[in-house]
Amino acid sequence: MDDKEFAAEVLLALPYRANDQQVAVVAAMARFCTTADTDRVFILNGYAGTGKTSLTGALVKTLAARKRPVMLLAPTGRAAKVFSANSGGFPAYTIHRKIYRHDPNGITNGWGTRMPADNKLRDAVFIVDEASMIGTGDEKGDNLLDDLITYVYSGDGCRLILIGDTAQLPPVGADRSPAMNPDVLRRLGLKVTQATLTETARQAADSGILFNATRLRRTMAAITRRQSEGSKGDMPVPKLRAADDVVIVAAEDLPELLTASYSRDISDTIVITLSNRRAAAYNAAIRSEVLYREEELMRDDMLIVSRNHYFSKKTGGVEFIANGDILTVAAVYGSETRYGLRFADVRLSLPQAQGDPIEFDIKILLDSLGSPEAGISQEAWNALYYGLMGDDGPYADRPVDARLRALRTDPYWTALHVKYAYAVTCHKAQGGQWGDVYVDLSYIPEDALNLSLYRWLYTAVTRARHCLYLISPPAAMLN
């Protein structure tokens, strides 16, 4: 396959005429896809509005036209749905769904275990969007980045393209995204090709959302440059600008605006705030004052998964639900209190990147629903564990190994951890996009106007597709 011919096809598949920077990136990607050297990884770092979404869509279209196997992946179900839509409806999947398989005989501390799946594809191009979210460990001790690379390169002639935005928040607990760090990938034995898109595409020039995102990114770059030079003067503060698609919101106007957004599409509206505690307060206020829901859990309530969930066997066609996936309550059957925790039996609806949503019955943990904490306490976990595994528990008459096997499928131990999804933290929103995005900037002191806040705000701003609402921003950040 000739790389120049391949690059020309990608450029023709774009919905606009590429700028010089985009032409250079397409040429580099064409060389990467056509070279015989397969122990390489391509990192595409693209800032908001620079056209990386369009370039990716054109690349996918060209690879498919040439009958080249393509696999689109993303860290979460929401990100996969967005990736598929931006790639012309080409199927996209969560990374977990593709690279792992269940071990039917495995037991790991009571959790359903999983093993790396076999990559049976040949000469395939794996393209991972929102790669800046990929970390090197989760609550089960798994290293998602290592496992992804092992899976991809176990296939014959396969290669990997990682697409992300290093201006966004890195994974929780990390200072920098490992998947977008060339040094990390080189240590894993890969040759790295990288490209960065910084020039805003002409098609985005009139977007107030992208204007503010670009201003935030440039301010962050200026701060980083001044810090590296040892400057001790006042650091620059980004000035946010209202526009047709950017609205500065006073707190007293929020209920009316949210009601209007919900009337258009409640599932396409999100509030992003700084902490789990503020998200819990927003969720409580939205349910009572905007949606007028009096019961703790009702049909059509929107929930967000707060902990990765692995089914011991397929449930309604689902094996895995990712932390950050958003579901809708289809039915509430009842609730109960066991082992000091409260549970509810529900039917949930999980949107798919393609096709109709999947519905399935499951037990959820009510204690996490409106909690201001990220998860339940270790004491609560211990009470649940010993309540199930102790001599007075339901499996007391079984040997220890049989108790562990039973725990792996116990509905209380494997209950889904969820929170209300009307307001979320930025890490939970990362990877998704919504038509209307409300960003909570209220009660931020002047000494908190720093690089970390601007990175958080950049990530939140770039979640918006149609309209961005900035709630009570600090005066220092307004023109």
User: What was the pLDDT predicted at 85?
Assistant: 86
Quick one: fold of 3-201?
A: Rossmann fold (3.40.50)
- Tell me if 73 sits within 8 A of 128, measured CB to CB: yes
Give CA 126 to chain center in angstroms: 18
Chain centroid to CA 274: how far? 16
Same fold, 3-201 and 206-291+423-477: yes
pLDDT of residue 109: 41
Report d(CA 441, CA 438) in Å as an integer. 9
Per-residue pLDDT of the chain (479 residues; tens, 9 = 90+): 688 999 999 999 998 899 999 999 999 999 999 987 778 899 999 998 898 989 999 999 999 999 999 999 998 877 888 898 888 889 898 898 888 876 555 544 444 456 778 899 999 999 999 999 998 765 455 688 999 999 999 999 999 999 999 999 988 778 889 999 999 999 999 999 999 999 887 556 679 999 999 999 999 999 999 988 888 778 899 999 999 999 999 999 999 999 999 999 999 999 999 999 999 999 999 999 999 999 999 999 999 998 888 776 666 667 778 888 899 999 999 999 999 999 999 999 988 766 788 899 999 999 999 998 888 889 999 999 999 998 888 998 999 888 888 888 899 999 999 999 999 999 999 988 999 999 999 999 988 999 999 999 999 999 999 999 999 999 999 97
DSSP, res 478: B
Give CA–CA dist 436/79, Å, rounded.
17
Residue 103's pLDDT is what? 59
Half-sphere exposure of 326 (CA within 13 A, CB side): 25
Answer yes or no: pTM beyond 0.85: yes
Please give the CATH topology (third level) of the domain spanning 206-291+423-477: Rossmann fold (3.40.50)
Task: Write down the pLDDT at residue 110.
Answer: 42
Q: Helix crossing, 52-65 with 20-34: angle to 10°?
A: 40
In degrees and rounded to multiples of 5, residue 329 shows phi and psi of -75, 120
Who contacts 353 (Cβ-Cβ below 8 Å, separation ≥6)?
A: 77, 80, 81, 83, 84, 85, 91, 92, 93
As a whole number of angstroms, the distance between CA 259 and CA 415 comes to: 32
Q: Which sequence spans correspond to the domains of the chain? A: 3-201, 206-291+423-477, 325-416
Whose CA is closest to 151, among 120, 183, 130, 179?
A: 120
